[in-house]
Chains A and B, each alone.
Chain A
Amino acid sequence: MSIITAKDLCLWYGATQALKNINIEIPERSITALIGPSGCGKSTFLKTLNRMNDLIPSVRIEGTVTYGGQDIFAPSVDVNDLRKEIGMVFQKPNPFPMSIYDNIAYGPRTHGIKNKIQLDDIVEEALQGAAIWDEVKDRLKKSALGLSGGQQQRLCIARAMAVKPKVLLMDEPTSALDPISTSKIEDLTQQLKKDYTIIMVTHNMQQAVRISDNTAFFLLGELVEFGDTEQMFSQPQDKRTEDYITGRFG
Chain B
Amino acid sequence: MVKSMKKNKQFERAVHGLFLILGLVTVASVLVITVYLVISGIPAILEIGLWDFLFGDTWDPASSDPKFGILPFILSSIYGTAGALVLGVPIGFLTAVFLSKKASPKVKEIMSGAVSLLAGIPSVVYGLVGMMVLVPGIRDLFGLPDGASLMAAIVVLAIMILPSIIKVSITALDAVPKEYEDASLALGATPTETWFRVSVPAAKSGIATAVVLGVGRAIGEAMAVMMVSGNVANMPSLFQSVRFLTTAVSSGMGYADGLYREALFSIALVLFLFIMMINAVLNFFLKGEKHE
**What A residues does B185 contact at CB under 8 A?**
52, 55, 83
Q: How far is the CB of B285 from chain A (nearest CB, A)?
A: 16
Interface residues of A in 125-161 (CB under 8 A from B): 156, 159-160
Chain A contact residue count (CB 8 A cutoff): 25
What separation, in Å, do the CA atoms of A88 and B185 have in the docked complex? 10
A97 B201 Cβ-Cβ under 8 A: yes
| Contact stretch, chosen from B81-89, B187-195, B212-220, B253-261 | B187-195
Interface residues of B in 176-207 (CB under 8 A from A): 177, 179-180, 182-190, 193, 197-198, 201-202
A94 in contact with B187 given A110-B193, A110-B197 (CB within 8 Å): no
A97 B180 Cβ-Cβ under 8 A: yes
A80 within 8 A of partner (CB): yes
What separation, in Å, do the CA atoms of A87 and B182 have in the docked complex? 11
A156 B183 Cβ-Cβ under 8 A: yes
With both beta carbons as reference points, the residue of chain A lying nearest to B183 in the complex is identified as A94
**What B residues does A82 contact at CB under 8 A?**
188
**What B residues does A88 contact at CB under 8 A?**
186
Q: Report whether over half of chain B's contact residues are helix, strand or loop; otherwise say mixed.
A: helix
B182 A52 Cβ-Cβ under 8 A: yes
A84 B188 Cβ-Cβ under 8 A: yes
Interface residues of A in 80-97 (CB under 8 A from B): 80-84, 87-88, 90, 92, 94-97
B184 A96 Cβ-Cβ under 8 A: yes
Q: Counting chain A CB atoms within 10 Å of each CB, which of B177, B185, B188 scores highest?
A: B188
B292 within 8 A of partner (CB): yes
Number of contacts between A and B (CB, 8 Å)? 63
With both beta carbons as reference points, the residue of chain B lying nearest to A109 in the complex is identified as B197
**What B residues does A106 contact at CB under 8 A?**
184, 187, 189, 197-198
B188 A96 Cβ-Cβ under 8 A: no
A37 within 8 A of partner (CB): no
What separation, in Å, do the CA atoms of A111 and B187 have in the docked complex? 9
Q: How far is the CB of A160 from chain B (nearest CB, A)?
A: 7
B182 A110 Cβ-Cβ under 8 A: no
| Cβ contacts B253-292/A at 8 Å (1 or 0 each) | 0000000000000000000000000000000000000001
B186 A96 Cβ-Cβ under 8 A: no
**What B residues does A163 contact at CB under 8 A?**
187-188
Q: Counting chain A CB atoms within 10 Å of each CB, which of B177, B185, B197, B198 scores highest?
A: B185
Contact of A84 among B182, B183, B187 (CB under 8 A): B187
**What B residues does A95 contact at CB under 8 A?**
183
Contact of B183 among A80, A111, A159 (CB under 8 A): A159
With both beta carbons as reference points, the residue of chain B lying nearest to A93 in the complex is identified as B179
What separation, in Å, do the CA atoms of A95 and B292 have in the docked complex? 14
What separation, in Å, do the CA atoms of A50 and B188 have in the docked complex? 10
Contact of B202 among A96, A156, A160 (CB under 8 A): A96
A107 within 8 A of partner (CB): yes
What separation, in Å, do the CA atoms of A210 and B190 have in the docked complex? 36
A113 within 8 A of partner (CB): no
**What B residues does A111 contact at CB under 8 A?**
188
With both beta carbons as reference points, the residue of chain A lying nearest to B194 in the complex is identified as A110
What separation, in Å, do the CA atoms of A92 and B184 have in the docked complex? 14
Q: How far is the CB of B253 from chain A (nearest CB, A)?
A: 49
With both beta carbons as reference points, the residue of chain B lying nearest to A83 in the complex is identified as B188
Q: Counting chain B CB atoms within 10 Å of each CB, which of A83, A94, A107 scores highest?
A: A94
What separation, in Å, do the CA atoms of A92 and B183 have in the docked complex? 11
Query: Can you list 5 pairs linking A and B with CB atoms under 8 Å apart?
Result: A55-B182, A92-B179, A106-B184, A106-B187, A110-B189
